[in-house]
Every structure is written in structure tokens, then in C-alpha cells.
Structure 1
């Protein structure tokens, strides 16, 4: 699956440089304002965010702090002309994954982006208690009593689970899951997502407690198992 990158920067020359550098390997979407970035993040799922500090409608640091809870484990790299130690320290203390100063060498930009994406997906097989998910082979299994058995999920159920796992800790709306499982532009009722999640939960048994319902928003995969799945 090709990684999707959101670039939040209002400078046309930076948008051009990033696209020229990364478009051959990744899908890059640009947002020139923080409001455009909010809309992009609400509509779609991204594997990495490149964020400037000075935007026409606000401050990148404040935006980062605002959006961080909903981004889950998505890496955020600051790409900015603000080059002083106080701002770098500020970024890392807020939880940034990297800080690149403009003008940036395209080779360094590509290397840092690739390193962050590789680190995020380093292990194709992830285990949560008895639930084992292989992100490369799109396989799901349950372990217990010294054995392992595959879970027979439908393609839609599998895509929903994989995307939730990839964005664990982040709430995904039903529309986001529809775009992922059925494809963008395909008309699917939101209730259909609920039915697939319900079926998925039944098939993974006790591990269903990882799949949380967030009332009014959608679903989230959480490694916390202290609450029952709804």
C-alpha cells in the first residue's frame, strides 16, 4: 500500500520541491492553510505529516498540539524556515518526530521521510494479546493454548481491521473506513460499516475489546483492554 503524506505549507516552491522529491514513491497531498489541513485530515488517512510552523491562518506548533490526539501514531515532521534551538526544542517537547530546516536538500528530505515510515512499519506482524495481525500478508490469527488459528475475515472486514491497527490510538470516522474498505467515491451506508465491525468483533472473540466505539465519531483500535467493546 502506497504511503500517503500530507504537506502543510503555503509556499508554492516548497510544495513543488516536496512533490518532485516524494511523488515517485508516495502519494502527496498539499494544504496551504491550517483549515485546509484540518479538512484533509478529517476526510482522509495519512501515514505521515510534513508541517510548517508559520502558516497564513495560524501557528504550526499550536495546530500540532490541537491535532496530536487524533493523529495517533502518525509521524509528524516539521519542515520550516524557523531555525533556532528554542523552536526545535519546543517541537520535540510537544512530541514531533523530526525537525527539518528550509532550504532542505531533497536527498535529506527523502531519507528522513523514508526512515520515519520504515520505523513506523518495521514489524509487519503485530501482536495484541491473543490477536496477531500481519500487515504485509493481510493475515489475522488468534493464539491460545499453544496453538494459532487463522481468522476468516471478509475483504471488507480485513481492510477495516488493518486500517484501525495501522492508526491505533486514533479515532477513524465511518466515512474514512468506507473510503478505505470500499474505495473513495463509492456510496455505502454508514450502518454497513457498523454491521461489518460487529461481525469482525464476533470473529476475533475476546480481542474485540481492542476495537472501541467512539460515540458520535466512529471507531478506534486501542491497546487498552479495560473497557468492553460496544
Structure 2
């Protein structure tokens, strides 16, 4: 799940981004209204978290224009403006929810999940993603291979969810980096390979059927069969030393 956060208070923005990332969300943070609006119009997000009192343009105005353009992504207003008239205005101009500062972080996460359910978005309708005997439950934040529970970190969970959502596709390291880590891929870094290796240890090492495959020179793929490289030979099997 990818979220857009438009918040001009940099420390608060980084705090929110860090907390939501640890909860398994992918978060893009924009600090001005204009940058936020450009991201809203050009990017693909599951929920937008919008501050109202931005330095260059009101969050209300941004969302009003966004809805006028026919965009339907759920919007959660996050603001210190707590007057009833402000809350009513926020909903009337196209907001889906309204949370005032200061707020409990647990409530923010609950509100986001509620918006995802209410929006009935295609990638949230089925909360259980599965391939072979591997199951990932988005709502329960649980992973199983058969009857065996698998404990993952928040980032490992996000990585596995992304692989499952795109199962059968060859995913370049650059795509994984941008979608799961929200960073530009640097060919000199092995962060993606290390993360895949750690995930393989938990997902594949103790099981006969290997699900995460390396496609030489191209990236990674998750599926319940042997992966083939472009020459037709069997690609690197799932073992911790193969992800280089």
C-alpha cells in the first residue's frame, strides 16, 4: 500500500513517514502544496494524507481541485484546525476523513485502514495473497507457509507483499527499490539483494518448493515453479548465497 503525505512541518512529516513505514506502508512525503499536488496528479496512491495549513496553498483547495479533476483516491485531512466548520468544509470539498493534531499514531493507522476498506480498492478487496502454500494476510499482518507461521519485519512484510502482488513478473532491483523503499536504486548498493536473501531464509530455506527466484541480469520473481533465465537454463536457485 502506497501513501502520499503532504505535510510542511518537516520533523512531523518524517515522524509520520517513519511510523507508517514501520507499519508496512510505502510513504512518499511532500512538504509543499504544489509539490504535493503534482504528486497527487501524476502518481498512484492508495490514500492521501493532507495537511490543511500549507505555506503556499490550502490543502482544502488542493483536494477541491483534485476532486474536480475526477480523482477518487481517499483523502485524510490531518490538521490543527479543529473547529466543526473546518471539519464540515473538509468533508464537503471532497475529504473522506478528518483527524486533528495532536493525534495518537495508532488512530492514524486505524483511520487509514478504514479508508482502504471503505474505498474497496482492487488490491485491498482480497486481504489474503497466496501462491502455493504461502499465504500473506494484509489485515492480520500474518504470513504462513502451510501451517508454519513466518515472522517478518515490517520491511520484509512490505517486500513480500509487493512480490505477491506482482507474482510471476520479473521485477528489476530499481522497481523494488522505488516501490518498497521509495528510493532511487544505486547500482553500487546491495540493499535489495540483502533484503531478498533475508526473506529467502525465512520463506524458502526450510521448504522443498522454492518461491523466490533470481533471474540473471534482470531481477527477481516470485512464483511456484522453477524460474528460467533468458537463455532457457534454470536460473539461480533460492539460496542465501545466490543473490549477488
Could you state the TM-score of these two structures normalised by the residue count of structure 1? 0.51
Q: Tell me the residue number matched to 1:10.
A: 8
User: CA deviation digits over 1:63-106, x for unaligned, max 9?
Assistant: 11011134632100000011111100111112211000011111
Mapped contact 1:124–1:136 kept (Cα < 8 A)? no
| Matched position secondary structure for 2:78 | strand
Aligned to 1:50: 49
TM-align CA RMSD = 3.4
- Contact 1:81–1:101 under 8 Å retained in 2: yes
Structure-2 separation of matches of 1:113 and 1:125: 12
Distance 1:119 1:136 in 2: 19
**1:64 matched to 2:95:** no
**CA offsets 1:148-204 (integer angstroms, 9 cap, x no match):** xxxxxxxxxxx9xxxxxxxxxxxxxxxxxxx99xxxx9xxxxxxxxxxxxxxxxxxx
Q: Does the C-alpha gap of structure 1 residues 92 and 42 become closer, same or farther in structure 2, counting only changes over 3 Å? A: closer
What's the counterpart of residue 97 of structure 1? Answer: 96
- Structure 2 distance, partners of 1:66, 1:13, is 27
* Whole-Å separation in 2 of the counterparts to 1:83 and 1:104: 12
The question of whether the paired residues in 1 share the 8 Å contact of 2:33 and 2:56 is answered with yes
* Residues in 2 aligned to 1:9 and 1:125: alpha-carbon distance in whole angstroms: 25
Give the total of aligned pairs: 137
**Are 2:117 and 2:124, in contact at CA under 8 Å, matched by a contact in 1?**
no
Instruction: Work out the CA distance in 2 between the residues paired with 1:122 and 1:40.
Output: 20
- The structure having more radius of gyration, on CA atoms, is 2
Alignment deviations for residues 45-80 of structure 1 (CA, whole Å, 9 cap, x no partner): 111100111111111111110111346321000000
Q: Distance in 2 between matches of 1:6 and 1:123?
A: 18
Given that 2:116 and 2:124 are in contact with CA atoms closer than 8 Å, whether structure 1 keeps it comes out as: no
Residue 21 of structure 2 corresponds to 23
Specify which structure has the higher proportion of strand: 1
